[in-house]
Amino acid sequence: MKYKAFLLAALCSWGCSTVMGQDSGAPYEIKNNMPVFYEWMKKELTYPMAWEHAGIADFDQWKEKARAVMMECMQNLPPAAESYDMEITGKEQRDGYTAMKINFNVSKWCRVPAYLLVPDGDGPFPAVVMLHDHGAHFSIGKEKMVRPFGVSAELMQDADKWAEQCYDGQYTGDYFAKNGYVVLSVDALFWGERGRKEGISYDGQQALAANFLQMGASWGAFINMDDVRSAEFLTSLPFVDKERIGCVGFSMGAYRSWMLSALTDCIKVSASVCWMNTTDCLMTETNNQNKGGSAYSMLIPGLRRYMDYPHVASIACPKPTLFFNGTKDKLFPVEGVKDAYRTMENVWKEQQASDRLVTKLWDEKHFFSRAMQQEVLDFFNKWLMK
């Protein structure tokens, strides 16, 4: 009888392997970089800290606890700088504002270059943290958002080409500055002036992310905390109204934008263009997310055990928050966008703040068009301009 039971178990095991796809010759358990049991893994994600699952009656208490869970997953972070010690290294007068190249201490560990755009006049002004994209394009970072100056012809050409390719030929940072906003744009670690000494390497992302993990940290969390410190830096400037600070980003910058709004109340308004979805729709055999690469810079180890993307973004409720996605965007399946939108819409509705949430699908690819930029500006003007 024991022998028969053993044979039965073995047959069952063979049958399970066939179901998982191991019926085409050589055995395997990985397909398109995904474990063949990935659907079972996704079913284990119940998101117990999501607002609708947490069992916490008071929304503010849930936000506090959910944010604490985020921070618990973001370990070994750089401590805040004792002083920002801002230094202006260059200036250029533009149409209605001054563009400045600055250095400041974003943490105790890092002193970073940045662009700071300041409108003409006395202020205090509303301000925006402009968060650049990934794009598998590392030679520039902040220059994707702000038109550079005092740089080589090659870098200028690089920035102009990127602005045309992703931003409809318009530098979003300059667009906001011309319309009365202080703008800060900083390179994320691995981009532009915070890149690799050995030169640009797409595969270097994996090594960098692995090295962060080896030291009990994560590259993605490091980027998010730099963004938090950047927002805090803006509150220290005398010409900035600290009650009127927002953040804007496209693609990876959009992810950084809603993460930043969830992490700190320094941010009062956020806009995220072309980055919102659900894990269920992103983790498939065919989605770009499963290739790794760009995903390394947006991973917080363990966070998915507690909350999915729209649950984390909902920590920002009831702040004015805008999400745009494109129906032709191959990176973010429309089904997942709609699911994520519904989750967030329910949260803002429950908190009587539906008028503060914009979720919109555009007939557009992965792109931040001038029409989209105009609507984002209008949204910011509604909530931040006195």
| DSSP character string of 334-361 | HHHHHHHHHHHHHHHHHTT-GGGEEEEE
Residue 16 within any structural domain of the chain: no
Print burial letters for 282-316: b (CB count within 10 Å at least 16), e (below 16). bbbeebebbeeebbbbbbbbebbebbbbbbbbbbb
Tens of pLDDT, residue by residue over 111-131, are 999 999 999 999 999 999 999
Query: How far is it, in rounded angstroms, from Cα 37 to Cα 17?
Result: 10
Whether omega before 238 lies within 30 degrees of 0, making that bond cis, reads: no
What's the structural domain count of the chain? 1
Residue 88 lies in domain = 68-384
Residue 13 within any structural domain of the chain: no
CA 186 to chain centre: 14
Residue 38 within any structural domain of the chain: no
Tens of pLDDT, residue by residue over 33-43, are 899 999 999 99
pLDDT band at 341 (very low <50, low <70, confident <90, very high): very high
| Averaged pLDDT of the chain | 93
CA 254 to chain centre: 5
Residue 106 within any structural domain of the chain: yes
Residue 27 within any structural domain of the chain: no
Return the higher-pLDDT residue of 158 and 284: 158
pLDDT band at 25 (very low <50, low <70, confident <90, very high): low
Whether pLDDT at 11 is above 60: no
Residues 6+ apart with CB under 8 A from 329: 274, 364, 365, 366
Q: If we measure between CA atoms, which residue out of 179, 189, 111, 218 comes closest to residue 381?
A: 179
Tens of pLDDT, residue by residue over 304-326, are 999 999 999 999 999 999 999 99
Domain holding 184: CATH number? 3.40.50.1820
Residues 6+ apart with CB under 8 A from 40: none
Whether pLDDT at 146 is above 60: yes
| Three-state DSSP class for residue 186 | strand
Q: In what order do the strands lie in the sheet with 357-362?
A: 87-94, 97-105, 111-119, 182-186, 125-131, 240-250, 269-273, 321-326, 357-362
Amino acid at 198: E
Pairing relationship of beta strands 240-250 and 125-131 according to DSSP bridges:
parallel
Lowest mean pLDDT across 170-184, 277-291, 311-325: 277-291
Amino acid at 135: G
| Three-state DSSP class for residue 366 | coil
Tens of pLDDT, residue by residue over 44-102, are 999 999 999 999 999 999 999 999 999 999 999 999 999 999 999 999 999 999 999 99
Query: How far is it, in rounded angstroms, from Cα 92 to Cα 126?
Result: 21
Tens of pLDDT, residue by residue over 202-250, are 999 999 999 999 999 999 999 999 999 999 999 999 999 999 999 999 9
Residue 29 within any structural domain of the chain: no
Residue 378 within any structural domain of the chain: yes
Query: How far is it, in rounded angstroms, from Cα 144 to Cα 156?
Result: 10
Query: How far is it, in rounded angstroms, from Cα 283 to Cα 286?
Result: 8
pLDDT band at 149 (very low <50, low <70, confident <90, very high): very high
Read off the pLDDT of each residue in 346-370 and give the average, rounded to a whole number.
98
Predicted local distance difference test score (pLDDT) of residue 10: 42
Predicted local distance difference test score (pLDDT) of residue 14: 39
DSSP assigned state of 370: H
Residue 21 within any structural domain of the chain: no
Residue for token digits 């755009």?
Answer: 117
| Three-state DSSP class for residue 104 | strand
Whether pLDDT at 9 is above 60: no
Q: Is the pTM of this model over 0.85?
A: yes
